[in-house]
C-alpha cells in the first residue's frame, strides 16, 4: 500500500513495505562491511558499526539524495592507518585509547570541512568530473567490492585458500545466494530478492547445522558486535597547535575523499533512479554525520555505493529505507548480536558479488571503438588506479587532470587564421578557435610580421581570449608589430574579452584595443 510520507519537509510517494524490507537488507549488508573496515586500522568492530549507524541515520534524514546509504568505508579507513603511524612516530608509547581520541577529533574536523564545502556550494564542482572518469570510478569500485570478498574463502587467519568440503560448501552457498538474487525477481518482486537470499541460505545453514564461515568468524577472538547505544566520546587530546598540525592534513583528506565518493555515488544513483539529488545538501549532511560520528565513538565514513545499489535495486527511493537500515543496525548491536553473528558469510558474500556485477559498467566495453582514444585511456587508468590503490580521490583527480589536458590539447590544435587584404591594403586575420595557454604558440605562428602591410586587423569574431596566457600572446604580438612600425587593431572582441584585457592593464601592456565598429575596415561581400 502506497501512501505519502512528509518527513523533514521531503514529501514523496513511498512504498512502506519496500522501504522497510530494503532497509533491513541493507542493515544486514552493513554489518560485515563495517566490521572489516574497522579492522583495517585496528579498531574494534563496534567503532565501525557505530559509524555506520550514525552516518546512515543522519544522511538519510538530512542528505540530498534519498535512497543513498552512508556508513564506514574502506577509503576512509585506509587514511587512519597513516594517521596512526604518524601518531606513533610523534608520541612513542601512545595508547590505543589515546589514538582513538585523535581519530574522533580528526573525524569531527573533517565534518566541519565538509559542512564548509556545502555552505560554499562547492558540491557543484562534481559536474567537472567527465563521464569516462565516472565509468572508471564505478568499474574500479566494482572490482574492489568483488576482490574484497575473496578473503572469506581463505582459512581463518591465513592467506591460504580453503580446500575440500569447507571450500565447496562456501562456494555452493555463495552461488545459491547469487542464483536466488538473480532469479527470484523474475517470479515476483513482492520481497527484495537480496533479503530472501540471506534468509533462505541462513535457514539452510542453521537448520541443517552446516559448518561454514559465519560473521562471528570474521572477528578477532573475544570480540563481538554486542554493545549499547553509541557512547558519548569527547576527544580527550591537547588542544595545541602541534595537535592541529598532526590531525588537520588527515582531516582534510578524509573530508575530500568522503565528499568525492559521496558526490560520485549521488550522481550514479541519480542516473539509476532518473531523479536529481542536491550535492551541496549532501555535503552538509555528510559533514553533520561525521561530526556526530566523532562524538559518538564512530570512525566516520561516507556514502557506500554497494549498499546504495542494494537499496535502490530493491526499489527503495525514499529516506525511510536508510532510516530503517540505521535503526535495524542499532537493534542488531543492542539486542540481536548473537543471531547476526551466526549469519553465514556465504550469503553476504554472494550478495556483494551480485552488487559488484551490477555496479560494473559493462556498457563501457562497447564504447571502446566509439569514444575518443583519450577518453578510453582515462577510463582504463581511473579503473586501474581505483582498483589497485583504493585511493578514490587520487584516481578521480588523476582522471580529471588527464581529461582536462586532453581537452586542452585538442582545442589548442583548433586555432586557425583566415587571411585576406582589402581594397585599402589592410591585412585581415580572422581568428577561429579559443586563444588560451595551449594555443598561444600556434596563434603566434599565424602572423607574417615582416611581410605584412603597415596596418593589420585581427578579427576575434569567431574566437575569444580565454586567459592570461592569451592576453600575454596578444601583448607580445602587438609589440612585435610596433617594433617594425606597423599598427594593429583588435576587432570584434567579446565583452568578457575586453573586460579581461582591461583587468590585466596594470600587469600586461596591450598596445591597441579598437572598437568593434572600426570604420576603416571594408568587409568583402
When the pLDDT of each residue in the chain is averaged and rounded to a whole number, the result is 87
β-sheet bridge partners, residue 421: 427
- 515 within a domain of the structure (yes/no): no
Helix, strand or coil for residue 427?
A: strand
What separation in angstroms does the CA of 467 have from each of 20, 283, 291, 316? 53, 31, 40, 47
Phi, psi of 316 (to 5 degrees): -75, 135
Could you give the angle at the alpha carbon of 260 between the alpha carbons of 70 and 250, nearest 5°? 90
- Same domain? For 54 and 189 the reply is yes
- Rounded CA separation 79/64 (Å): 25
d(CA 180, CA 198): 9
Find where cell 581463518 sits.
Answer: 156
Q: What residues form DSSP beta bridges with 487?
A: 455
Show the DSSP H helices in 120-240 as ranges. 131-147, 164-187, 193-208
Residue with cell 585506509: 78
Asked if residue 490 is part of any domain, the answer here is yes
Instruction: With respect to residue 244, please indicate whether it lies within any of the assigned structural domains.
Output: yes
pLDDT digits over 24-65, tens only?
A: 999 999 998 898 889 889 899 999 999 999 999 999 999 999
pLDDT of residue 428: 93
Is residue 98 classed as helix, strand or coil in its secondary structure?
A: helix
User: Would the pTM count as exceeding 0.85?
Assistant: no
- pLDDT beneath 50, residues of the chain: 1-10, 516-525
CATH number, domain of 476, equals 3.30.750.24
Identify the domain containing residue 326 by its residue range.
14-404
| Statement to judge: residues 94 and 207 lie in one domain | yes
Q: Compute the residue count for the chain.
A: 525
Same domain, yes or no: 466 and 492: yes
pLDDT computed for residue 513 by the predictor: 57
474 and 387 assigned to the same domain:
no
Note the pLDDT of residue 522.
Answer: 40
If phi > 0 it is left, if psi is from -120 to 50 it is alpha, else beta; for residue 249 that is alpha
- Claim to verify: residue 276 and residue 371 sit in the same structural domain: yes
Cα distance between residue 184 and residue 473, in whole Å: 66
Beta carbons of 421 and 427 less than 8 angstroms apart: yes
Task: Determine the Cα angle at 119 with ends 114 and 122, to 5°.
Answer: 70
With respect to residue 8, please indicate whether it lies within any of the assigned structural domains: no
Query: Looking at residue 524, what is its pLDDT?
Result: 41
pLDDT for 54 equals: 97
Amino acid at each position: 500500500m502506497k501512501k505519502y510520507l512528509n518527513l523533514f519537509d521531503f514529501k514523496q510517494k513511498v512504498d512502506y513495505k519496500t522501504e522497510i524490507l530494503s532497509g533491513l537488507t541493507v542493515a544486514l549488508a552493513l554489518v560485515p562491511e563495517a566490521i572489516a573496515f574497522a579492522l583495517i586500522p585496528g579498531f574494534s568492530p563496534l567503532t565501525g558499526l557505530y559509524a555506520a549507524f550514525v552516518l546512515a541515520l543522519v544522511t538519510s534524514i538530512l542528505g540530498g539524495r534519498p535512497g543513498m546509504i552512508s556508513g564506514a568505508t574502506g577509503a576512509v579507513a585506509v587514511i587512519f592507518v597513516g594517521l596512526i603511524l604518524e601518531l606513533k612516530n610523534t608520541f612513542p608509547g601512545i595508547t590505543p585509547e589515546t589514538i582513538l581520541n585523535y581519530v574522533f577529533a580528526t573525524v569531527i574536523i573533517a565534518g566541519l570541512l565538509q559542512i564548509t564545502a556545502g555552505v560554499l556550494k562547492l558540491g557543484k564542482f562534481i559536474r567537472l568530473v567527465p563521464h569516462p572518469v565516472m565509468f572508471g570510478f564505478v568499474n574500479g569500485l566494482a572490482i574492489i567490492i568483488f576482490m574484497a570478498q575473496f578473503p572469506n574463502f581463505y582459512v581463518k587467519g591465513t592467506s591460504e585458500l580453503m580446500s575440500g568440503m569447507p571450500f565447496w560448501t562456501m562456494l555452493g552457498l555463495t552461488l545459491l545466494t547469487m542464483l536466488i538474487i538473480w532469479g527470484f525477481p523474475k517470479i515476483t518482486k513482492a520481497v527484495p530478492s537480496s533479503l530472501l537470499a540471506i534468509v533462505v541460505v541462513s535457514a539452510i545453514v542453521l537448520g541443517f547445522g552446516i559448518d561454514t564461515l559465519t560473521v562471528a568468524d570474521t572477528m578477532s577472538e573475544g570480540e563481538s558486535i554486542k554493545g549499547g547505544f553509541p557512547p558519548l566520546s569527547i576527544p580527550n587530546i591537547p588542544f595545541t597547535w602541534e595537535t592541529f598540525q598532526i590531525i588537520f592534513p588527515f582531516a582534510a583528506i578524509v573530508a575530500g575523499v568522503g565528499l568525492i565518493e559521496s558526490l560520485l555515488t549521488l550522481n550514479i544513483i541519480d542516473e539509476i533512479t532518473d531523479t536529481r539529488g542536491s550535492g551541496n545538501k549532501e555535503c552538509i549532511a555528510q559533514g553533520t554525520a561525521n561530526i556526530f560520528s566523532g562524538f559518538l565513538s564512530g570512525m566516520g565514513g561516507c556514502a557506500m555505493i554497494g549498499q546504495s545499489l542494494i537499496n535502490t535495486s530493491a526499489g527503495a527511493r525514499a529516506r525511510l529505507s536508510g532510516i530503517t537500515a540505521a535503526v535495524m543496525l542499532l537493534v542488531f548491536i543492542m539486542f540481536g548480536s548473537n543471531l547476526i553473528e551466526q549469519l553465514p558469510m556465504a550469503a553476504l558474500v554472494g550478495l556483494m558479488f551480485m552488487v559488484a556485477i551490477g555496479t560494473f559498467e559493462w556498457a563501457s566495453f562497447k564504447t571502446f571503438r566509439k569514444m575518443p582514444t583519450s577518453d578510453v585511456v582515462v577510463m582504463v587508468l581511473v579503473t586501474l588506479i581505483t582498483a589497485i590503490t583504493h585511493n578514490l580521490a587520487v584516481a578521480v583527480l588523476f582522471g580529471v587532470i588527464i581529461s582536462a589536458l586532453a581537452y586542452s590539447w585538442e582545442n589548442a590544435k583548433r586555432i586557425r587564421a583566415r587571411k585576406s587584404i582589402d581594397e585599402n591594403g589592410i591585412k585581415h586575420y580572422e581568428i577561429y578557435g579559443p586563444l588560451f595557454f595551449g594555443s598561444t604558440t600556434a596563434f603566434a605562428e599565424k602572423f607574417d610580421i615582416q611581410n605584412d602591410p603597415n596596418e593589420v586587423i585581427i578579427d576575434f569574431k569567431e574566437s575569444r581570449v580565454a586567459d592570461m596566457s592569451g592576453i600575454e600572446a596578444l601583448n607580445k604580438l602587438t609589440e612585435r608589430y610596433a617594433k617594425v612600425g606597423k599598427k594593429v587593431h583588435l576587432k570584434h572582441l567579446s565583452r568578457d574579452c575586453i573586460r579581461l584585457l582591461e583587468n590585466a592593464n596594470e600587469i600586461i601592456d596591450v598596445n591597441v584595443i579598437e572598437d568593434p565598429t572600426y570604420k576603416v575596415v571594408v568587409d568583402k561581400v
